[in-house]
Each structure stands twice: as structure tokens, then as C-alpha cells.
Amino acid sequence: MAVLDGDTWVINGRKWFTSGADRAAYTTVMCKTETDVPAHDAFSMIIVPTNTPGYNILRDVRVMGHYGGHCEVSYENVRVPAKNLLGPRGAGFKIAQRRLGPGRIFHCMRWLGQAQRAFDLMCERANSRVAFGKTLGQHQQIQKFIFDSLAEIQASRLLTLHAAHKIDQGTEARVEIGIIKVVGAQMLHNVIDRAIQVFGAKGVTEDTPLERMYRHARFARIYDGPDEVHVTTTARRVLGSYKIGDGWDFGLR
Ligand SMILES: Cc1cc2nc3c(=O)[nH]c(=O)nc-3n(C[C@H](O)[C@H](O)[C@H](O)COP(=O)(O)OP(=O)(O)OC[C@H]3O[C@@H](n4cnc5c(N)ncnc54)[C@H](O)[C@@H]3O)c2cc1C
């Protein structure tokens, strides 16, 4: 919550999972500034230098056994100039949406790179490790891992390129980004999981990068909105299009 005191914003609150707070010179705080308006018009973005008195990092939250700079931060009467407001008052959600759309497609591009690395490792291992008289890659179940991963990575890649194409055309590509956020994160999780399986015990050790990649893949299904929220909002948009008679022609989309 922030209130305007003369020409100064006074911010109070607490936020955990502020990633990178341990090394940031400033942070963008999204907080309630308006009352008696609909919720989506009640929040604003305010820039806060991290050396401002009252800005305190309480802890680096340990996630899946590791510290990753996902900090819990408290704001106790943090005072910053009124001009630190980003955009108009009450525009917090609109600004967030403008950043989150392109931000999500960047995540998808990183995930594709990670999936390629996991796939390379899995195939190299499948060709080199011999178990029960033949290489792992000669066992049908392992071939299925390779096939499923191949198909999922390529599908995600094409969906991501399609979303990027829509953005290039000047649209917000909300549906396309909703799809890749969910499909991309699940693909990453599945591919790394299979690669770990092919490595056996070694896959869960820090002797391969897969263990670390797997933890990050798990986060991907939660940060920037969990899968379920994207499924709901994306499906609602498509249903809305049918409601107004536009339908959803895949050939034109
Ligand atoms: C590694 C990591 C880094 C993060 N970094 C940041 C950061 O830098 N800045 C920041 O602001 N946040 C950050 N977050 C927070 C992240 O954006 C939230 O965790 C995420 O949006 C989910 O919110 P929540 O944790 O409050 O879960 P909740 O809202 O409590 O949801 C919990 C679960 O409930 C279900 N659910 C919720 N809503 C619905 C719905 N509408 N329909 C069906 N099911 C639903 C989902 O299964 C969801 O996973 C980070 C999170 C992680 C894991």
C-alpha cells in the first residue's frame, strides 16, 4: 500500500519472491494507491532505490534446497519522491501486462535452449551407455523418450515462433503467449525429466547440469503466473471470440 504525503510516496508492505533483490540497485513496486475504484485500476508502479531507508531484505528464501536470490522484502514507511511513479496512477496492471507478455516469450526462448541441451545430453547418453547387452537407445522405451521429446520441443519451438510473429505484426498475442507459457514450461519439465531418467542416478547428481535445470523447470510452471491461470484466461479469450461470432479459425490465426 502506498499513500501520497505531499510530494512523497510512503510505502508499507511485504513481498516475498522478489527475484534478484539481493543485487538490485532499485526495484519496481506494484502497490495499491487508489481506493473506491475497481481492483484492476487500484494499483500503481513506483520505482524504489534499494538504499532507501525502510527497504529491508528479510531473507533469501531457500527454494528446493538452494538459495537463488528470491528475497522476502519488507517496506516500512519507505519514502520516495512522487515523480518515481511509473506511468499514470492506477495503471499498474496495464504496465505489468505490457512487460509480462514480451517477458514470457523470452522465458520460452530460454526454455527452448535448455530443452535442446537436455535433449543433446539424453541422446549422447542413450547412444553410449550399454545396459542389458545393448545401448540404452536400442531399448524401445528409451526410443519413446527421444520421440516424445523431439515432438514436444519442435511443437514448442513452432508455437514460440508463431507467437513472436504475431507480436511482430503489432498484436499483443495474448492467446499465443498463454499457449506457449503453459506448453513451453511443461515441455521443458518433461524433456529434462526424461533426460534425468536416461542418466539414472547420475542425472540427479550435480555431475550433470540436469539436476539444476530440473529445479528451474519446476519453477517455470509457477512464475509469471501458474499454468492454471494461463489455461483459464486463454480459454476464456477463445470462448469470448466464439460468443461474438468470430470463432477461432486456425488457418487465419
Ligand atoms: C522461482 C520463482 C521466482 C519468482 N520471482 C518473482 C518475482 O521476481 N517477482 C514477483 O512479483 N513474483 C515472483 N514470483 C512469484 C510468482 O509470480 C507467483 O508465485 C505466481 O504468480 C503464483 O502465485 P502464488 O505463489 O501466490 O500462488 P497462488 O496464487 O496461491 O496459487 C497457488 C496455486 O493455485 C492454483 N491457482 C491459482 N489461481 C488459479 C486459478 N485462477 N484457477 C485455477 N487454479 C488456480 C494454481 O495451481 C497455483 O499454482 C516467483 C515465483 C517463483 C516460484
CB burial class (10 A; 0-12, 13-18, 19+) of residue 179? buried
Residue with CA at minimum distance from ligand 1 atom 11:
18
Q: What is the DSSP letter of 98?
A: H
pLDDT score at 31:
96
Q: Is 225 in the pocket of ligand 1 (CB under 6 A)?
A: yes
Is the CB of 18 inside a 6 Å radius of any atom of ligand 1?
yes
| Average pLDDT of span 184-191 | 98
pLDDT one-digit tens code per residue, 2-17: 999 999 999 999 999 9
For residue 102, the SS3 value is helix
pLDDT of residue 12: 98
Question: With 90 as the cut, is the pLDDT of residue 181 above it?
Answer: yes
Q: What is the mean pLDDT of residues 180-193?
A: 98
42, pLDDT greater than 90: yes
The confidence score (pLDDT) of residue 63 equals 97
pLDDT band at 224 (very low <50, low <70, confident <90, very high): very high
Between the CA of 196 and the centroid of ligand 1 the distance, in Å, is 26
> Is the shortest distance between the CB of 64 and ligand 1 below 6 Å?
no
pLDDT per residue over 59-71, tens digit each?
999 999 999 999 9
Q: pLDDT for 89-122, tens place per residue?
A: 999 999 998 888 889 999 999 999 999 999 999 9
Residue 223 Cα to ligand 1 middle (Å): 6
> For residue 131, how far is its CA from the centre of ligand 1 (angstroms)?
42
Closest CA to 95 of 103, 104, 86, 107: 86
Mean pLDDT of 116-130: 98
The pLDDT of residue 97 is: 87
1 DSSP 8-state letter? -
* Coil vs helix vs strand at 12: strand
Say if CB 48 and CB 81 are below 8 A apart: no
Whole-angstrom distance, CA of residue 48 vs CA of residue 70 = 18
Q: Which of 59, 47, 66 is nearest to 15 (CA)?
A: 59
Which residue puts its alpha carbon closest to atom 36 of ligand 1?
228
What is the arithmetic mean of pLDDT over 51-76?
97
* Residue 171 CA, distance from chain mean position: 20
Q: What's the confidence (pLDDT) of residue 243? A: 98
Name the nearest CA neighbour of 115 among 150, 143, 164: 150
Percent of the chain with pLDDT over 90: 96
Q: Could you tell me the distance, in angstroms and rounded to a whole number, from the CA of residue 207 to the centre of ligand 1?
A: 31
pLDDT, averaged across the chain: 97
What pLDDT is attached to residue 159? 98
Tell how far the Cα of 225 is from the centroid of ligand 1, in angstroms.
5
Predicted confidence band of residue 252 (pLDDT cuts 50, 70, 90): confident
pLDDT given for residue 100 in this prediction: 85
Burial class from Cβ neighbours inside 10 Å (0-12, 13-18, 19+) for residue 170 reads: exposed
pLDDT at 244: 98
3-state secondary structure 150-198: HHHHHHHHHHHHHHHHHHHCCCCCHHHHHHHHHHHHHHHHHHHHHHHHH
pLDDT given for residue 226 in this prediction = 97
Ligand 1 lined by 194 (C-beta under 6 Å): no
Q: Residue 100: which of 235, 230, 201 has the closest Cα?
A: 230
Q: Does the CA dihedral 157-158-159-165 come out positive or negative? A: positive
Asked whether the predicted pLDDT for residue 32 surpasses 90, the reply is: yes
User: What is the mean pLDDT of the segment spanning 202-209?
Assistant: 97
